[in-house]
A and B are shown apart, each in its own frame.
Chain A
Amino acid sequence: MKTSAKPTIAIAGSVFLLLGVLSQPVKAQGVIDAYLGPSSGTPSASTDLEVESSVTGSAGDYTYNYDVINPTSESVTSFEVGFSASSGNVTSISTGGFLETGIGVIWPSIDIPADDESGVLFSFTSPVPWTMGNANATDNTEGWASTSPDGIPSSDQQVYVPSAVPEPTTVSLLAGGLMFVPFRSLFKKTRNVGNISKI
């Protein structure tokens, strides 16, 4: 009976080790710049919005940050990021922001004056790790977007957003659970053998 317990302990140890490794604090994602092109059709360094996005925190507890820098002559009055948002992958949002299920997160009433930057970060927390997604913003007279064909550079300029895939620790928990299934059968068999030998 002693021998049958050893693999169980070994596997349990391995699973805990695996979980421990996966749960290590992750290095925060450094700031990346995205340049949202204008809808006005006149792209230049002074007409594109710059969005500095970053991710801080550790596995299962990330914070997504966006700092909007406005070099244009317009005031930016709303800002949105698009992804498959839900109450499961967005746990809290900075002041003025709204979760839009299946759509993203919006700050509909902001005021980033011309030739200024947001200063206060637009942010939200999420248990889900990052991927890249689209952002856009508007003034009352024009808009800016990651996918604007008029942006500089012309390729899509994306920001960090939560991915739609489950957190690795969830996967590893599931894997861990599945790994125990064969041993449960083995344990049952061993127990039966023990019972037979008693008879």
Chain B
Amino acid sequence: MKRYSKAKVCMVGAILLSGLAGQAIRADTIVTVESGLAILADVNGDTSAPEALSVCYQVTEDLNTDIYTYSYDISNPTGDQVLGGQNTGASEIVDTFKIAFDADAPGAYISGSATGGVLGAILVGADSNGLSWFIPSPYIAAGQSNTVTFESYLSPVAGLATAQDANPPSPWTSYPNGNPVPVPGPDATSTLALLGGVMALLPFGSALKKK
């Protein structure tokens, strides 16, 4: 049972990535909002390498533009194998990655901002189900990883992710045995502000009635 102990590596990677991104624009305007490592369990509920996948995630915010950049580095462990069917024993690949949120909501997904990493993942879906990337050949082979990104005006909340291959033990999921990843959530700040505004007006409404 090889347990994932990549959290530190993931964090260091996130810091380096943040630093590079900051240098490219202005170091003092890009802040890391959230970063970490999530496990996507296989269909059998296995959360350990080499059958489970890991997703190293990071969310940064550009304080000048209020744009959040979400990035997910999907890692397929060395030794991941097909467990069943004609391809049993073959090296397992990953060809699809998805995250769930309402990408149609205002500001949730900045159209055209998705990137596919070195393997050229293609955004094939952006709708109320979320975002879906198809990773063409050579896919994410065992021992490889690929980073996908996109931009949003919404801050992160905990969400779900899935990944897929044609062969078992695919698919891999955050729920119920894996971990959540950050996804753009409802704009809690503006909702609270609206609620606060209404509450603030209530006393004036009472005063008006008294008069």
Contact = CB atoms under 8 A, between A and B. Distances in A.
B43 A145 contact: yes
14 contacts: A39-B173, A80-B170, A82-B82, A108-B95, A109-B132, A109-B134, A136-B43, A138-B171, A140-B100, A140-B160, A142-B171, A142-B173, A146-B84, A146-B168
Interface string B44-74: 1100000000000000000000000000000
B162 A141 contact: yes
A40 B164 contact: no
A171 B172 CA distance: 40
Contact of A140 (B98, B136, B170): B98
Interface of A: 39-41, 75, 77-78, 80-84, 98, 100-106, 108-109, 111, 131, 133-149, 156, 161, 163-164
A80 to B, nearest CB: 4
Given A39-B176, A147-B43, A140 B132 contact: yes
Nearest to B129: A140
Contact of B164 (A78, A102, A131, A149): A78
Contact of B170 (A41, A84, A136, A163): A136
Contacts of A40: 175-176
Size bin of chain B's contact surface: 35 or more
Interface in B113-167: 124-125, 127, 129-132, 134, 136-137, 139, 160-167
A78 B134 CA distance: 10
B75 interface: no
A164 B127 CA distance: 38
Which of A82, A98, A164 lies at the interface centre, i.e. has the most chain B CB atoms within 10 A of its CB?
A: A82
A73 to B, nearest CB: 12
Contact of B86 (A141, A143, A164): A164
B171 A147 contact: no
B166 A104 contact: yes
B171 A143 contact: yes
Given A111-B127, A147-B168, 7 more contacts: A80-B170, A100-B139, A111-B129, A138-B164, A139-B129, A140-B160, A147-B169
A83 B87 contact: yes
Nearest to A135: B166
B93 interface: yes
A153 to B, nearest CB: 16
Nearest to B130: A140
B132 A108 contact: yes
A82 B166 contact: yes
